[in-house]
Structure 1
Protein backbone atom coordinates (compact mmCIF):
# COMPACT_ATOMS: atom_id res chain seq x y z
CA UNK A 1 0.00 0.00 0.00
CA UNK A 2 1.49 3.41 -0.95
CA UNK A 3 2.48 5.71 1.95
CA UNK A 4 -0.20 8.27 1.09
CA UNK A 5 -2.90 5.58 1.28
CA UNK A 6 -1.53 4.32 4.59
CA UNK A 7 -1.52 7.86 6.02
CA UNK A 8 -5.07 8.48 4.79
CA UNK A 9 -6.30 5.18 6.23
CA UNK A 10 -4.53 5.78 9.52
CA UNK A 11 -5.90 9.30 9.89
CA UNK A 12 -9.42 8.25 8.99
CA UNK A 13 -9.66 5.03 11.00
CA UNK A 14 -7.33 5.62 13.98
CA UNK A 15 -7.02 9.40 14.19
CA UNK A 16 -9.38 9.73 17.17
CA UNK A 17 -7.60 6.97 19.07
CA UNK A 18 -4.21 8.59 18.39
CA UNK A 19 -5.56 11.95 19.53
CA UNK A 20 -7.01 10.34 22.68
CA UNK A 21 -3.64 8.77 23.47
CA UNK A 22 -1.84 12.09 23.00
CA UNK A 23 -4.48 13.91 25.05
CA UNK A 24 -3.99 11.54 27.99
CA UNK A 25 -0.28 12.30 27.89
CA UNK A 26 -0.55 16.08 27.52
CA UNK A 27 -3.87 16.91 29.18
CA UNK A 28 -4.35 19.71 26.64
CA UNK A 29 -6.34 19.55 23.40
CA UNK A 30 -4.06 21.82 21.37
CA UNK A 31 -0.89 20.19 22.66
CA UNK A 32 -2.35 16.76 21.83
CA UNK A 33 -3.19 17.88 18.29
CA UNK A 34 0.34 19.25 17.84
CA UNK A 35 1.79 16.05 19.28
CA UNK A 36 -0.14 13.83 16.84
CA UNK A 37 0.79 16.07 13.91
CA UNK A 38 4.48 16.02 14.86
CA UNK A 39 4.39 12.23 15.24
CA UNK A 40 2.73 11.81 11.83
CA UNK A 41 5.31 14.06 10.19
CA UNK A 42 8.17 12.16 11.81
CA UNK A 43 6.68 8.81 10.82
CA UNK A 44 5.86 9.65 7.21
CA UNK A 45 8.77 12.01 6.43
CA UNK A 46 10.82 9.08 5.17
CA UNK A 47 9.45 6.66 2.63
CA UNK A 48 9.08 3.11 3.89
CA UNK A 49 8.08 0.14 1.79
CA UNK A 50 5.54 -2.43 2.93
CA UNK A 51 4.13 -0.09 5.58
CA UNK A 52 0.69 -1.34 6.73
CA UNK A 53 -1.78 0.83 8.69
CA UNK A 54 -1.11 -1.30 11.80
CA UNK A 55 2.65 -0.81 11.44
CA UNK A 56 2.11 2.90 10.87
CA UNK A 57 -0.05 3.20 13.99
CA UNK A 58 2.63 1.51 16.10
CA UNK A 59 5.28 3.88 14.72
CA UNK A 60 3.06 6.93 15.31
CA UNK A 61 2.23 5.87 18.89
CA UNK A 62 5.93 5.42 19.59
CA UNK A 63 6.66 8.81 18.02
CA UNK A 64 3.92 10.43 20.16
CA UNK A 65 5.49 9.02 23.31
CA UNK A 66 9.02 9.99 22.25
CA UNK A 67 8.06 13.57 21.33
CA UNK A 68 6.11 13.97 24.59
CA UNK A 69 9.01 12.77 26.74
CA UNK A 70 11.59 14.78 24.77
CA UNK A 71 9.51 17.95 25.16
CA UNK A 72 9.09 17.31 28.90
CA UNK A 73 12.85 16.88 29.28
CA UNK A 74 13.50 20.04 27.25
CA UNK A 75 11.08 22.08 29.40
CA UNK A 76 12.66 20.70 32.56
CA UNK A 77 16.17 21.60 31.38
CA UNK A 78 14.99 25.09 30.37
CA UNK A 79 13.32 25.62 33.76
CA UNK A 80 16.64 24.81 35.39
CA UNK A 81 18.64 27.39 33.45
CA UNK A 82 16.25 30.18 32.45
CA UNK A 83 16.97 32.04 35.69
CA UNK A 84 20.51 32.55 34.38
CA UNK A 85 19.18 35.05 31.84
CA UNK A 86 18.55 37.49 34.70
CA UNK A 87 14.87 38.09 33.96
CA UNK A 88 13.03 38.18 37.23
CA UNK A 89 10.02 40.21 36.08
CA UNK A 90 8.07 37.10 35.03
CA UNK A 91 5.94 35.63 37.80
CA UNK A 92 6.87 32.09 38.70
CA UNK A 93 4.44 29.57 37.29
CA UNK A 94 2.92 27.01 39.58
CA UNK A 95 3.81 23.62 38.06
CA UNK A 96 0.76 21.98 39.61
CA UNK A 97 -2.44 22.48 37.60
CA UNK A 98 -5.33 24.32 39.17
CA UNK A 99 -7.63 21.88 40.89
CA UNK A 100 -11.28 22.35 40.00
CA UNK A 101 -14.34 21.41 41.99
CA UNK A 102 -14.53 17.99 40.34
CA UNK A 103 -11.52 15.70 40.47
CA UNK A 104 -11.25 13.74 37.26
CA UNK A 105 -8.71 11.64 35.48
CA UNK A 106 -7.30 14.54 33.50
CA UNK A 107 -6.52 16.53 36.65
CA UNK A 108 -5.12 13.45 38.38
CA UNK A 109 -2.85 12.60 35.43
CA UNK A 110 -1.65 16.19 35.31
CA UNK A 111 -0.18 15.81 38.81
CA UNK A 112 2.14 13.02 37.72
CA UNK A 113 5.71 13.49 36.55
CA UNK A 114 6.11 12.93 32.78
CA UNK A 115 7.68 9.47 33.15
CA UNK A 116 5.02 8.39 35.67
CA UNK A 117 2.27 9.74 33.44
CA UNK A 118 3.61 8.00 30.36
CA UNK A 119 3.96 4.70 32.24
CA UNK A 120 0.42 5.00 33.67
CA UNK A 121 -1.14 5.79 30.29
CA UNK A 122 0.69 2.94 28.57
CA UNK A 123 -0.13 0.42 31.32
CA UNK A 124 -3.65 1.31 32.34
CA UNK A 125 -5.07 3.07 29.30
CA UNK A 126 -3.23 1.30 26.49
CA UNK A 127 -3.43 -2.01 28.43
CA UNK A 128 0.22 -2.92 27.87
CA UNK A 129 2.10 -5.29 30.13
CA UNK A 130 4.96 -4.02 32.28
CA UNK A 131 7.58 -5.52 29.91
CA UNK A 132 5.82 -3.87 26.94
CA UNK A 133 5.76 -0.50 28.74
CA UNK A 134 9.44 -0.92 29.61
CA UNK A 135 10.28 -1.67 25.98
CA UNK A 136 8.31 1.34 24.69
CA UNK A 137 9.92 3.71 27.20
CA UNK A 138 13.39 2.17 26.88
CA UNK A 139 13.58 1.41 30.61
CA UNK A 140 14.08 -1.62 32.85
CA UNK A 141 11.00 -3.47 34.12
CA UNK A 142 11.82 -2.49 37.70
CA UNK A 143 11.99 1.19 36.81
CA UNK A 144 8.57 0.97 35.15
CA UNK A 145 7.18 -0.83 38.21
CA UNK A 146 8.49 2.00 40.41
CA UNK A 147 6.87 4.63 38.16
CA UNK A 148 3.60 2.68 38.16
CA UNK A 149 3.64 2.26 41.92
CA UNK A 150 4.26 5.96 42.51
CA UNK A 151 1.68 6.94 39.89
CA UNK A 152 -0.87 4.50 41.32
CA UNK A 153 -0.49 5.95 44.82
CA UNK A 154 -0.83 9.50 43.52
CA UNK A 155 -3.87 8.62 41.39
CA UNK A 156 -5.54 6.76 44.25
CA UNK A 157 -5.01 9.76 46.51
CA UNK A 158 -6.84 11.94 43.96
CA UNK A 159 -9.42 9.52 42.53
CA UNK A 160 -9.93 6.86 45.19
CA UNK A 161 -9.04 3.18 44.78
CA UNK A 162 -8.16 2.08 41.26
CA UNK A 163 -10.36 -0.69 39.82
CA UNK A 164 -9.20 -4.20 40.68
CA UNK A 165 -9.91 -5.26 37.09
CA UNK A 166 -7.07 -3.56 35.19
CA UNK A 167 -8.87 -4.14 31.90
CA UNK A 168 -11.18 -1.23 32.80
CA UNK A 169 -9.62 1.97 31.43
CA UNK A 170 -8.99 4.82 33.89
CA UNK A 171 -11.52 6.97 32.07
CA UNK A 172 -14.32 4.42 32.51
CA UNK A 173 -14.98 4.45 28.77
CA UNK A 174 -13.12 3.34 25.64
CA UNK A 175 -10.49 5.80 24.43
CA UNK A 176 -11.34 5.69 20.73
Structure 2
Protein backbone atom coordinates (compact mmCIF):
# COMPACT_ATOMS: atom_id res chain seq x y z
CA UNK A 1 0.00 0.00 0.00
CA UNK A 2 2.83 2.39 0.84
CA UNK A 3 4.33 2.11 -2.64
CA UNK A 4 1.02 2.92 -4.35
CA UNK A 5 0.31 5.81 -2.00
CA UNK A 6 3.83 7.22 -2.39
CA UNK A 7 3.43 7.16 -6.17
CA UNK A 8 0.26 9.27 -5.77
CA UNK A 9 1.72 11.54 -3.11
CA UNK A 10 2.97 14.42 -5.31
CA UNK A 11 -0.37 14.73 -7.09
CA UNK A 12 -2.37 14.43 -3.86
CA UNK A 13 -0.14 16.96 -2.16
CA UNK A 14 -0.61 19.51 -4.97
CA UNK A 15 -4.37 19.07 -4.78
CA UNK A 16 -4.35 19.33 -0.99
CA UNK A 17 -2.46 22.63 -1.23
CA UNK A 18 -5.15 23.87 -3.60
CA UNK A 19 -7.92 22.78 -1.25
CA UNK A 20 -6.40 24.02 1.99
CA UNK A 21 -4.44 27.03 0.83
CA UNK A 22 -1.42 26.29 2.96
CA UNK A 23 1.47 23.89 2.98
CA UNK A 24 1.27 22.88 6.65
CA UNK A 25 -2.45 22.20 6.62
CA UNK A 26 -2.05 20.40 3.27
CA UNK A 27 0.55 18.11 4.83
CA UNK A 28 -1.83 17.43 7.69
CA UNK A 29 -4.73 16.64 5.35
CA UNK A 30 -2.62 14.28 3.22
CA UNK A 31 -1.29 12.57 6.35
CA UNK A 32 -4.80 12.15 7.76
CA UNK A 33 -6.00 10.81 4.40
CA UNK A 34 -3.15 8.28 4.48
CA UNK A 35 -4.14 7.20 7.98
CA UNK A 36 -7.73 6.83 6.84
CA UNK A 37 -6.68 4.68 3.87
CA UNK A 38 -4.27 2.65 6.01
CA UNK A 39 -7.17 1.43 8.13
CA UNK A 40 -8.50 -0.51 5.13
CA UNK A 41 -5.61 -0.98 2.70
CA UNK A 42 -7.31 -3.78 0.77
CA UNK A 43 -10.13 -1.47 -0.33
CA UNK A 44 -7.61 1.11 -1.50
CA UNK A 45 -5.50 -1.41 -3.39
CA UNK A 46 -8.51 -3.19 -4.91
CA UNK A 47 -9.99 0.02 -6.29
CA UNK A 48 -9.65 0.29 -10.10
CA UNK A 49 -8.40 3.90 -9.79
CA UNK A 50 -6.35 4.41 -6.61
CA UNK A 51 -5.96 8.17 -7.20
CA UNK A 52 -9.71 8.62 -7.26
CA UNK A 53 -10.10 6.61 -4.06
CA UNK A 54 -7.31 8.55 -2.35
CA UNK A 55 -8.67 11.91 -3.58
CA UNK A 56 -12.07 11.03 -2.14
CA UNK A 57 -10.44 10.29 1.22
CA UNK A 58 -8.53 13.59 0.96
CA UNK A 59 -11.70 15.59 0.30
CA UNK A 60 -13.47 13.77 3.13
CA UNK A 61 -10.69 14.60 5.60
CA UNK A 62 -10.61 18.21 4.40
CA UNK A 63 -14.38 18.54 4.65
CA UNK A 64 -14.34 17.20 8.22
CA UNK A 65 -11.56 19.61 9.19
CA UNK A 66 -13.41 22.47 7.50
CA UNK A 67 -16.55 21.66 9.48
CA UNK A 68 -14.60 21.61 12.74
CA UNK A 69 -12.88 24.91 11.94
CA UNK A 70 -16.17 26.53 10.94
CA UNK A 71 -17.45 26.06 14.48
CA UNK A 72 -14.53 28.03 15.89
CA UNK A 73 -14.76 31.76 16.50
CA UNK A 74 -12.51 33.41 13.95
CA UNK A 75 -10.46 36.57 14.22
CA UNK A 76 -10.80 39.04 11.34
CA UNK A 77 -10.37 37.34 7.94
CA UNK A 78 -7.28 38.57 6.12
CA UNK A 79 -7.49 38.96 2.37
CA UNK A 80 -4.63 36.89 0.94
CA UNK A 81 -4.94 38.10 -2.61
CA UNK A 82 -1.80 37.82 -4.67
CA UNK A 83 -0.31 40.95 -6.21
CA UNK A 84 -1.10 41.63 -9.83
CA UNK A 85 1.39 40.20 -12.30
CA UNK A 86 3.67 42.65 -14.07
CA UNK A 87 3.39 42.59 -17.85
CA UNK A 88 6.18 40.32 -19.03
CA UNK A 89 8.35 40.81 -22.06
CA UNK A 90 8.92 37.11 -22.67
CA UNK A 91 11.75 36.76 -20.14
CA UNK A 92 12.07 34.08 -17.51
CA UNK A 93 10.93 35.31 -14.13
CA UNK A 94 12.17 32.41 -12.04
CA UNK A 95 8.71 30.83 -11.86
CA UNK A 96 7.15 33.81 -10.11
CA UNK A 97 4.28 34.11 -12.60
CA UNK A 98 3.41 30.44 -12.14
CA UNK A 99 3.55 30.86 -8.37
CA UNK A 100 1.26 33.91 -8.52
CA UNK A 101 -1.20 31.95 -10.65
CA UNK A 102 -1.08 29.05 -8.18
CA UNK A 103 -1.67 31.39 -5.23
CA UNK A 104 -4.59 33.03 -7.03
CA UNK A 105 -6.08 29.59 -7.75
CA UNK A 106 -5.73 28.63 -4.10
CA UNK A 107 -7.30 31.93 -2.99
CA UNK A 108 -10.27 31.38 -5.29
CA UNK A 109 -10.74 27.74 -4.28
CA UNK A 110 -10.81 28.75 -0.61
CA UNK A 111 -13.94 30.79 -1.33
CA UNK A 112 -15.76 27.55 -2.23
CA UNK A 113 -17.18 24.82 -0.04
CA UNK A 114 -15.05 21.66 0.16
CA UNK A 115 -17.36 19.73 -2.18
CA UNK A 116 -17.51 22.57 -4.68
CA UNK A 117 -13.73 22.84 -4.66
CA UNK A 118 -13.40 19.07 -5.04
CA UNK A 119 -15.66 18.98 -8.09
CA UNK A 120 -13.89 21.96 -9.70
CA UNK A 121 -10.49 20.35 -9.12
CA UNK A 122 -11.58 17.00 -10.53
CA UNK A 123 -13.47 18.34 -13.55
CA UNK A 124 -11.66 21.54 -14.48
CA UNK A 125 -8.11 20.82 -13.33
CA UNK A 126 -7.78 17.02 -13.47
CA UNK A 127 -9.93 16.56 -16.58
CA UNK A 128 -12.50 14.11 -15.22
CA UNK A 129 -16.07 14.19 -16.51
CA UNK A 130 -18.94 15.15 -14.23
CA UNK A 131 -19.96 11.48 -14.07
CA UNK A 132 -16.47 10.40 -13.04
CA UNK A 133 -16.20 13.19 -10.47
CA UNK A 134 -19.57 12.19 -9.02
CA UNK A 135 -18.39 8.58 -8.72
CA UNK A 136 -15.14 9.66 -7.07
CA UNK A 137 -16.92 11.91 -4.56
CA UNK A 138 -19.73 9.36 -4.12
CA UNK A 139 -22.53 11.76 -4.95
CA UNK A 140 -25.20 11.74 -7.63
CA UNK A 141 -24.26 13.19 -11.01
CA UNK A 142 -26.79 15.99 -10.56
CA UNK A 143 -25.33 16.87 -7.18
CA UNK A 144 -21.83 17.11 -8.63
CA UNK A 145 -23.10 19.20 -11.55
CA UNK A 146 -24.97 21.50 -9.15
CA UNK A 147 -21.89 21.91 -6.94
CA UNK A 148 -19.80 22.74 -10.02
CA UNK A 149 -22.34 25.19 -11.40
CA UNK A 150 -22.57 27.01 -8.06
CA UNK A 151 -18.79 27.00 -7.73
CA UNK A 152 -18.30 28.46 -11.19
CA UNK A 153 -20.92 31.10 -10.40
CA UNK A 154 -19.06 32.05 -7.21
CA UNK A 155 -15.77 32.17 -9.09
CA UNK A 156 -17.25 34.38 -11.81
CA UNK A 157 -18.68 36.72 -9.18
CA UNK A 158 -15.33 36.80 -7.38
CA UNK A 159 -13.53 37.68 -10.61
CA UNK A 160 -16.18 40.20 -11.62
CA UNK A 161 -16.97 38.33 -14.83
CA UNK A 162 -20.48 38.55 -16.25
CA UNK A 163 -22.67 35.59 -15.37
CA UNK A 164 -22.94 33.09 -18.20
CA UNK A 165 -26.16 31.28 -18.99
CA UNK A 166 -26.57 27.91 -17.26
CA UNK A 167 -26.11 26.02 -20.54
CA UNK A 168 -22.61 27.43 -21.07
CA UNK A 169 -21.25 25.45 -18.12
CA UNK A 170 -22.46 22.10 -19.42
CA UNK A 171 -22.16 20.05 -22.52
CA UNK A 172 -23.80 16.78 -23.43
CA UNK A 173 -21.01 14.60 -22.03
CA UNK A 174 -20.49 16.54 -18.81
CA UNK A 175 -16.88 17.40 -19.61
CA UNK A 176 -15.09 20.56 -18.62
CA UNK A 177 -15.99 23.50 -20.78
Q: Aligning the two structures, in what range does the TM-score lie when normalised by the shorter sequence?
A: 0.5 to 0.7
Deviations 1:8-67 (Å, cap 9, x if unpaired)? 3431x3221110121121111111111111111211234538936975444322211111
Unaligned runs of 5+ in 2: 85-100, 162-168, 170-174
C-alpha spacing 1:101/1:32, structure 2 compared with 1 (3 Å): same
Match of 2:75? 92
Unaligned runs of 5+ in 1: 1-5, 83-90, 169-176
Match of 1:88? none
For the 8 Å contact 2:52–2:136, the answer to whether it is kept is: no
Structure number with the bigger relative contact order (C-alpha 8 A, sep ≥ 6) is 1
In the alignment, structure 1 residue 114 sits paired with structure 2 residue 114: yes
Displacement of 1:126? 2.2
Deviations 1:71-124 (Å, cap 9, x if unpaired)? 222223x24xx6xxxxxxxx7332x74323237212211222222212211211
Structure 2: how far apart are the matches of 1:67 and 1:56? Answer: 16
Alignment equivalent of 2:24, drawn from 23, 30, 37: 30
C-alpha spacing 1:7/1:53, structure 2 compared with 1 (3 Å): farther
Structure 1: how far apart are the matches of 2:43 and 2:66? Answer: 32
For the 8 Å contact 2:29–2:62, the answer to whether it is kept is: yes
C-alpha RMSD over aligned residues: 3.2
For the 8 Å contact 1:134–1:141, the answer to whether it is kept is: yes
Equivalent residues, number:
148
Match of 1:171? none
TM-score (norm 2): 0.66
C-alpha spacing 1:49/1:105, structure 2 compared with 1 (3 Å): closer
For the 8 Å contact 2:109–2:117, the answer to whether it is kept is: yes
Structure 1: how far apart are the matches of 2:26 and 2:34? Answer: 12
Match of 1:132? 132
